[in-house]
Structure 1
Amino acid sequence: MHLQQVASHNLQSIARRYPILRQISPTAVLLIFFWVYAIHYGERLVSSNHVKSCNWGSWEKWPTSATPHHLVFIADPQLVDPHTYPGRPWPLSALTESYTDQYMARNFRLINEQLDPDSVVFLGDLLDGGREWSTSKARQLTAHQRKHLTDLGIKAPGTKRSVDTSLSFGQPKVTSDSPLSKRDEDPKAFVHGENGRWRKWGPAQWDHEYDRFGRIFSDPRQLYPRADREAHVASEVLTHPISVENGATEIRTEEYAISGGKTRRVITSLPGNHDLGFGPGVQLTVRDRHETHFGEGNRVDVFGNHTFVSIDAPSLAASSQFEPGGADSTEEQAEARKSIWQPTMSFMGSVQAPVAKATSDYLDDLFPDSRPDGRTLRHGTDSDNTKSGKRTSVQGQAQLPIILLSHVPLYRDPDTDCGRLRERGKAISIRGGYQYQNALTRSLSTKIAQQISIAGEIVHIFSGDDHDYCDVSHRWNLVTGNGKSRLQNIREITVKSFSWAMGVRKPGFLLVSLWNPVNDKGEAIGTAASTVQTHLCLLPDQLGIFLTYAQLAGLTLIILLIRAIVVAIRGSSTLDSEDEDPDIPSRLALIRSRSPDKQPVSLTNGFSTPNKSLSKSRQRAASTSLSSTPAQDSSHLSVQRSHNARTRSVSPYSPSPSNGLVEKAGLYPQVQWADPSDDEESNVGSVGDYGDGDSQGKWKRRPRKRSVARRAWGEFWRGLGVVGAGAGGWYVFMVRTG
């Protein structure tokens, strides 16, 4: 009990010293703790739990001795920009951009930290408005540069070449002009889409989005969280003569080796329709800019004992797309757009050579001692294939299973069921519009499968673009790499969007486990039924988190309102220490008289303080002057007579407050203030006691009594301010730190 009193006294002393603490009630403290946990869960734990639940060991079904290659597919991040929600006002659009970036950055960092994949592959639509932002104008080569290129055998005399100054890293890329329908005079001229709607946004907007993408997905702190990585100079490389002629200042560059853990392979080159446009909407300058920054759209990569073939589907669709009315493009339309689809078509026609080379190089690195002559395999040349009028397989090449990557899904019959993991609807609708098409045409899809299968057996297809999950099987009669034709069922998975602003409540990414043990000739060891296993990993519902915050905010308002009403009703009769209103001023009183059982006090700077010596001297004086008074009345009359005697002895003109004439003349006596820091003992005979002696109460300032509604309203806003400051500060901290 004593400890409770001491603690209560200390708390009261602290509250007197810091008046702001009087506003903090136990209810507000409990609400602040509740909000701290809710925000921490919504901004940290929920994302970590989602990613952690996708641990590789929880769904892989390989033999215990297997060492699979772990790969992550990320589709359609589509960084939010002015093109995404053109009707949104500035504050809302800026918040949307900030929150989507933070959402993707947090989850991508958790993927690398908790799942530690070996490779990360993006399936296109890296930016949302990349196709709409103009490129810088190309400048003509100088006479000296043209002569230098001609001497090197790169440029034929008399032909025109341009250097695109919009390319990054300070080293322009030399490109050749190509004819383009509607741009015959200047094929490299950029044409603004949607009748120039995005004209005011130029190359600076694209550069800004490119930097944002790098901060989210390419920053070492994102790719290798909590890893101490260092770069060491490994070798020096001479700068290419063309770069020097084009203005490169460095004569030689340094190549670095990285220490501090494995190097994660990241591929971002696959283009989407939001990066380039679609079909005839693809502009050569936009495609050159994308390939220079992110890599070639048509490429071959080998990892996990599988060959990945990526194709530029948006450009290839210019040869065959859904025209108005539903029919495919005619031959005349395809010929007019040849400059767009020709590079991808040529890549697919000769895909055997890059696949064979990439596979051979990969096996040489995998078995350096067993393949001394691995790079001298005999290949059939393209000229031989062209003269014979048919496709032949590469003789002697080692073939690994092929995985085809395309941003746009391949054709499937309408209403084809996408499986139970799809969030919206049942199937991908087969339709198209401005700069998009939900699926490639039937004829183009069949051509892609036939040409890619020449280089090896296609075991899987991965795509994006739809933003939702879809799992279907294609059935084609294909000629495989050994020259035999057979009916194949090829599975295609369309990966969910990684962003929560792309129309799906639960974004996601795809985990792919690759295990294909081979020998030095690329032949499979064992009889595994499948070499690819996949798992869809869902991310938190960010919109649902915001709605939860809104519900908690409503509950908080109700609790604070109920408490304010209760405190206001209780305060109308009595005020406890928790609900005391600090805005009521201290009461003023006059020293008119005092109770006989009270001790006198002395005034120091307007405050009442006890004076025991003065009290004792006055008592002695009173007892001496009234010795003949009966004992039972001495305690009252002696003080009164002594006081009157002193009053009569003072001059009539004295300014003493106890002078009767001056008092009646209207002179205001000295006002005594109550010291809030005094305890009960020091306040004996203080303001309240002296004020009670005033029968009229004319000198006493009384606080105006407020209504219950007014008190409740003030108490509600004070509680809301305390809870809002605590919870809001914690939320800002959690958002700013990731």
Structure 2
Amino acid sequence: MPVLGRKRPVLDGLKLLWTVLAIWYEHVAFIYSVEQCSWPDSEIQTRTDSLPRPTHVLLVADPQILDHRSYPDRAPFLTYISQLLVDLNLRKNWRAALRMQPDIVMFLGDMMDGGRFAMSDAEYERYFQRFKSIFPLDSHVPQYFISGNHDTGLGISDEFSEKAETRYTSHFGPLNSRGTIANNTIIFLNAPGLVDEDSQHHRSNYDGKSVPGGPVELVQSYAKSPAQDPVILFTHIPLSRPDRADCGPNRERGTIRRGTGFGYQNTLGKPVTDFLLQTLRPSVIFSGDDHDYCEYTHSYNSDGKTREAREVTVKSLSMAMGIRRPGFQLLSLVQPQGSSSHADSLCLLPDQLGIYLSTYIPLLVLSLLVLCVANIYRVFSPRQSKRRSGSVSPNYVPLSGALRSRSDAGNPTEPNNDWLDYPDADILPQPTSSSRQVPRPIYSQTFVLLGRRRRITVSRESIASLVSTMFSCCGNHDVPKSRGCGVGFLRDVRDVAVFPLGIFAAVSWWMFVF
């Protein structure tokens, strides 16, 4: 029988390496990331049992799930692959975020990348159900949404649906609303609608007629009956600030600059920003849209005093929004007790794009190179060649190996000694039992040569061994059949890839099914 199971440390090492990396980067890294995060309760809660536990609010910005319109310049197949990978990343990020066990979840706009475009009701419903499948949430956890420019549109375009706002309100909730959480006044503002309404005013005075049910009307109604509790403002579009305003150390690059384009505006205008700050006097502001983290403190005058309001632009949860590390914001709220009633902290998630580009692809190229070199060495190494030439299979019988003398060939009284026809018979003991099975030849011919009787014998095993030797350039003993360099390389690639691909498929299946 061929020798099996010879150790191959290179192949086994690559299997182990890829398996460990797949488990880490596809699952454990996301858990590890959120384990480094914590709710900022200690910043606002004193050590006393009389105060209730802070309310934990998870802030998610710009998931912006893709559709076939997201990359119009890409081939349909590449768009489909991009959609699958981004959806998978969103699912992993979302499940990692839910490990924080929030009491409330708030989405800061741009839930669906193409929600504003004209489409049939059936297509929109499928789009919405896909969003719900990516972001499942227990029914006992309240969730709130504010509209983004990708949800309802901004400006006028023939590509935008006239039903965009109606569809949004029927699936996500009101465009503008006001509520209370832990005695903190919460205001959800329709920022795209505010931009459109601001363009109609063309003035800094917002005491005039406003759009019924619009954001200006909401702010004006608050001014008529202001709350004594701290105000927290949620707006998709960030407030105005100087072009070179610093965003703090947690931003990946650049800053938020003023700018407009097809269906977007980077910041609210200066007049409407002053109107919001002076009327609402928010203690903190949370915005989205920019995709990257930004922390900026606004200064404004109100009642003859200079006041400040801190704004946090929350990172996108998606890997497809131009940032390397997606993230979310943790907000803790307590009842006002003289000091601040809120605190927030940033939580970062793994760099999924970096995992693909800086880990998987380079390691894939290196692994292929190592397997190729290993197979070339296996084929052409002098040591391996010497080993192949010096090794004879126990079942191998050469075509010319049966030329032996038979002095007793014609004596019918002698026992059957056909086993002596094999080349190694002179060093093997005679069989201990006459019932031992000897391979039966498929061809046997006896003739007289140089005065002696000779026999040539060909068996199935000799033919199989000869064919294997002819069609294999390396005679590898790691597998039952000999294989060449190319076949060996492909089989090695298969053996290494089956483990990480299996883990990737299992994680994907788990994320898409549960």
How big is the shift at 1:603? 10
- Greater CA drift, 533-542 or 559-568: 559-568
**1:306 to 1:702, Cα distance in 2 relative to 1, 3 A:** closer
Partner residue of 1:85 out of 71, 76, 80: 71
Equivalent residues of 1:587, 1:673 under 8 A apart = no
Distance 1:714 1:508 in 2: 45
Query: What is the CA–CA distance in structure 2 between the aligned matches of 1:581 and 1:60, rounded to whole Å?
Result: 78
Q: Which amino acid aligns with 1:307?
A: T
Q: Sort the Cα spacing of 1:408 and 1:562 in 2 relative to 1 into closer, same or farther, 3 A.
A: same
How far is the alpha carbon of 1:100 from its aligned partner?
Answer: 1.4
**Corresponding residue number in structure 1 for 2:373:** 562
CA–CA separation in structure 2 for the residues paired with 1:275 and 1:702: 66
Q: 1:572 aligns with which of 385, 389, 393?
A: 385
Matched, 1:475 2:299: yes
Q: Which of the numbers 227, 230, 253 marks the counterpart of 1:401?
A: 230
Taking the aligned partners of 1:272 and 1:656, their CA distance within structure 2 comes to: 88
Shift of 1:339: 9.3
1:232-251 aligned within 5 A:
none
Q: Quick one: higher RCO (CA 8 Å, sep 6+), 1 or 2?
A: 2
Give 3-state SS (helix, strand or coil) of 1:574's partner: helix
Contact 1:589 1:672 in 2 (8 A): no
| Partner of residue 461 from structure 1, selected from 285, 288, 307 | 285
Measure the CA separation in 2 of the matches of 1:27 and 1:594. Answer: 50
Partner of 1:544, secondary structure, is helix
Cα displacement (A) at 1:432? 0.3
Q: Does 1:658 align with 2:431?
A: no
The answer to whether the Cα contact below 8 Å between 1:318 and 1:341 also exists between their aligned partners in 2 is: no
Shift of 1:345: 2.4
Structure 1 length as normaliser, TM-score? 0.57
- Of 431, 435, 438, which residue of structure 1 is paired with 2:259? 431
Find the aligned partners of 1:76 and 1:721 in 2 and give their Cα distance.
Answer: 39
Instruction: For 1:707 and 1:486, locate their aligned partners in 2 and report how far apart those are by CA, in whole Å.
Output: 88
Q: Which residue of 1 aligns with 2:186?
A: 308
Match of 2:479 in 1: none
Q: CA separation of 1:459/1:586 partners in 2, compared to 1, >3 Å: closer, same or farther? A: farther
The equivalent of 1:317 in structure 2 is 195
Q: What corresponds to 1:382 in structure 2? A: none
Deviation digits for residues 681-715 of structure 1 (CA, Å, limit 9, x no counterpart): xxxxxx99xxxxxxxxxxx9894386679954443
Q: Which residue of structure 2 aligns with residue 278 of structure 1?
A: 154
Alignment CA distance shift 1:101-1:341 (3 Å):
farther
Q: Confirm or deny: 8 A CA contact 1:272 1:465 kept in the other structure.
A: yes
Partner of 2:220: 349
Please list, as runs of the form range in 1=range in 2, the aligned pairs for 1:27-106 lying within 5 A after superposition: 27-56=10-39, 60=43, 62-65=45-48, 67-106=53-92
Contact 2:117 2:161 in 1 (8 A): no
Q: Distance in 2 between matches of 1:613 and 1:472?
A: 95
Pair 1:267-2:96 in alignment: no
Matched residue type, 2:300: W
2:130 is matched with which residue? 212
Select the residue among 295, 320, 324 that pairs with 1:501: 320
Change (3 A) 1:64 1:656: closer
Deviations 1:192-243 (A, max 9, x none): xxxxxxxxxx4333222201111122x2xxx35xxxxxxxxxxxxxxxxxxx
TM-score calculated relative to the size of structure 2: 0.80
Give ranges in structure 2 of 5+ residues lacking alignment.
408-415, 436-442, 476-482
Q: 2:118 aligns with which of 127, 133, 140?
A: 133
- Cα distance between partner residues in 2 of 1:408 and 1:658: 98
Alignment of 1:380-391 (within 5 A): none
The separation in 1 between residues aligned to 2:262 and 2:75, in whole angstroms, is 24
Unpaired runs of 5+ in structure 1? 1-8, 16-20, 135-201, 225-257, 322-327, 353-391, 480-484, 518-524, 616-654, 677-686, 689-699
**Amino acid corresponding to residue 387 of structure 2 in structure 1:** T
Distance 1:101 1:708, change over 3 A: same
Decide whether the 8 Å contact of 1:405 with 1:462 is kept in 2: yes
How big is each residue's C-alpha offset from its partner over 1:558-596, in whole Å with a ceiling of 9 and x where there is no partner? 32123223322132221399xx999x9985556331699
**Equivalent-residue separation in structure 2 for 1:310 and 1:587 (angstroms):** 88
Kept in 2, the 8 Å contact 1:133–1:203? The answer is no
1:593 correspondence with 2:417:
no
* 1:591–1:672 Cα contact (<8 Å) kept: no
What is the CA distance between 1:726 and its match in structure 2? Answer: 3.3
2:307 maps to 1:488: yes
Change over 3 Å in CA distance of 1:57–1:533 after alignment to 2: closer
In 2, are the aligned partners of 1:318 and 1:340 still within 8 Å (CA)?
A: no
Alignment of 1:363-378 (within 5 A): none
DSSP-derived class of the 2:126 partner: helix
Q: For the pair shown, which has the larger CA radius of gyration, 1 or 2?
A: 1
Letter paired with 2:77: P
Q: Which residue of 2 aligns with 1:188?
A: none
498, 501, 504: which one pairs with 1:725?
498
Cα distance between partner residues in 2 of 1:733 and 1:212 = 20
Cα separation, 2, equivalents of 1:585 and 1:433: 79
Structure 1 SS opposite 2:58: strand
Matching residue of 2:354: 544
Q: Distance in 1 between matches of 2:109 and 2:468?
A: 75
| Letter aligned with residue 719 of structure 1 | D
Instruction: Give the structure 2 partner of residue 380 of structure 1.
Output: none
